[in-house]
Chains A and B, each alone.
Chain A
């Protein structure tokens, strides 16, 4: 295995930025954003350098490691703080630092009116550093540090405008729900250490060949719990919609392109565990299939442009999790969809931010309409992202999503048909709700008040959008050219196994997917482009719409099943504490007080009574001695 000494700079540069900006405080207000952007960009530069080095080496020597220091060294438990850069992590490194830098640039302009812009950039740099540590860690424990770091950065950034109580609540909700998932990851690490005796990726991979199936299944399920928390998958998906309280660049970077895909990374990275534990793998595809439908259905009912995009993110990550659950046939496609999604969804979020920028922070799509004329560049970049996400050839999403649908259909038996149909249905709904977003925002009739003055965003904002739009157009084609990404990843995730007798040929699947997309687009255009749309969401809607608007009752469910019993348990414990624990303490005090007030009466203050007591005592003592010695 090749070693390198420059991997640490990937993480150290943005971490330095975060430290400087947080410690220097207001003194760095003038140049903080520039420093943060420069450091993020230089981290991207280091990533590109590493990629060039990697390409120069033969396939089997491409992975590089760097041992930083010996972290934990107790008995048989040894963990080094080490970094591992292989074909899988380099994809993430370039996505995180590349998209991250673009979003830094975008934020310079987007946040220019915020007096806390420097703090915002410090958090962004902190996020980049933590996310890089997550994907570069060479053991589950190192990954866990980054995993918690991105959770912290996400919390800080969702609640960036925490002067609004709803936003502060949203950040707390995201943090708490993420903790549930993080607990899964810590359990996975503990089980791995208890049963396999190691927590490094290479060690666990080696041990997984001989380990018991039960242990591997337990680790796999706990890793899945971790992934559902971080990636907003069913049943821990409820936080992502509220996470849109954060500034839009944060939604683009953390809650669309990078952090929420950490769950997919975790599953793909742990491919050796899931390949050896079919039960856990089956759960992964089930979670993926449920979430991709769930998110798509929620997306159809949202009027808030960011929440519609968030629901879409949830659904698209559902696709990735589904792909990752399909085993060696799907890992590469999951990562491919992750990368293409990183481009088009980040681009669309930035587009949404640009629209909000021009519309006085209005987020209700029912108050948009006909913005194409006023924001041509935003329209074009958002439109390219839109074409990519619904999967129109030759845009990126077509290649990556089609590959997942096809792999799902060919997973074999009833399972394959069910998964494939779900993915196909999801594609149709995706086409519907994304067309709805597109039409309501850009092409339908004007529904905003005349005192609004929509305008195109400045260069610093549209340039990153344009670059991401180029990515949304080209990446799918590039990744699939000669199965480039599949071959690139095969040393990490195993050889791509193509089924012998395919249920459906790729061309048939593509046809079906395009048909589904066409149906979705047609319905959306009929409903929103060709007929009038109310500027205020109508109330007399079907029960299904109502449920979908309430995020399919996810919050009501959580409140009924977890929050209320939790509150009841807490108040019970409080009562127990007040009555039993406090009661015992108070009882001891009261007993002492009572005994004191009784005994106090013997203290009369008369010297003669004391003398009499001494006398009586002496007599009793002597009598006692006399009785005993007789």
Chain B
């Protein structure tokens, strides 16, 4: 199978993720879209690893997964805290910094 098809899938995933981050208001969904983009990147790394026949890309993909796991912990904690304090998970409600 043509390995480039994986790249197309990865590009598609990344675009869906990016659009989701920009257009969705729910913090959980935005968060999921961020994860989608990370996974798109992981897929790219693995694909190129396969194309080039080296293991570098796959090693980096493991790093990404670890970092993403940490990020999930911190991010979810923030979202829960925000929800507790303002009874809303809308990302637009948390815009206090502009003032």
Contacts and interface: CB of A to CB of B under 8 A. Distances in A.
18 contacts: A604-B95, A604-B98, A605-B98, A606-B92, A606-B98, A607-B30, A607-B91, A607-B92, A608-B21, A608-B22, A608-B23, A608-B25, A608-B91, A608-B92, A611-B21, A611-B22, A612-B22, A615-B18
B96 interface: yes
Most B CB within 10 A of own CB, among A604, A608, A612: A608
Interface in B67-99: 91-92, 94-99
A76 interface: no
Interface string A601-630: 001111110011001000000000000000
Contacts of A604: 95, 98
Q: Is the interface of A mostly helix, strand, loop or mixed?
A: helix
Contacts of A612: 22
Contacts of B95: 604-607
Nearest to A609: B22
B22 A615 contact: yes
Interface string A588-610: 00000000000000011111100
Contacts of A606: 91-92, 95, 98
Nearest to A600: B98
A353 B92 CA distance: 92
A605 B21 contact: no
A605 B99 CA distance: 8
Interface in A556-609: 603-608
Interface in A467-487: none
A605 B22 contact: no
Given A603-B97, A607-B94, A615-B21, 8 more contacts: A605-B97, A605-B98, A606-B95, A607-B30, A608-B25, A608-B30, A615-B18, A615-B22
B55 to A, nearest CB: 26
Contacts of A603: 97-98
Nearest to A615: B18
A605 B96 contact: yes
Query: Which of A607, A612, A615 is the most central at the interface, judged by chain B CB atoms within 10 Å of its CB?
Result: A607
Contacts of B22: 608, 611-612, 615
A604 B97 CA distance: 8
Contacts of B97: 603, 605
Contacts of B30: 607-608
Contacts of B94: 607
A606 B30 CA distance: 13
Interface in B13-28: 18, 21-23, 25
A603 B96 CA distance: 11
A545 B95 CA distance: 88
A607 B23 CA distance: 11
Nearest to B34: A611
A615 B16 CA distance: 13
Across the A-B interface, the 6 shortest Cβ-Cβ residue pairs:
A605-B98, A605-B95, A612-B22, A611-B21, A605-B97, A607-B91
Nearest to B99: A605
A601 to B, nearest CB: 10
Interface in B41-86: none
Nearest to A604: B98
A240 B94 CA distance: 81
Contacts of A608: 21-23, 25, 30, 91-92
Interface in A35-51: none
A481 to B, nearest CB: 101
A612 B30 CA distance: 12
B65 to A, nearest CB: 22
Interface in A436-457: none
A605 B92 CA distance: 8
Contacts of B25: 608
A515 B94 CA distance: 110
Contacts of B96: 605
B28 to A, nearest CB: 14
A458 to B, nearest CB: 84
A372 to B, nearest CB: 93
Nearest to B25: A608
B17 to A, nearest CB: 10
The residue in B22, B92, B94, B97 that gathers the most chain A C-beta atoms within 10 A of its C-beta is: B22
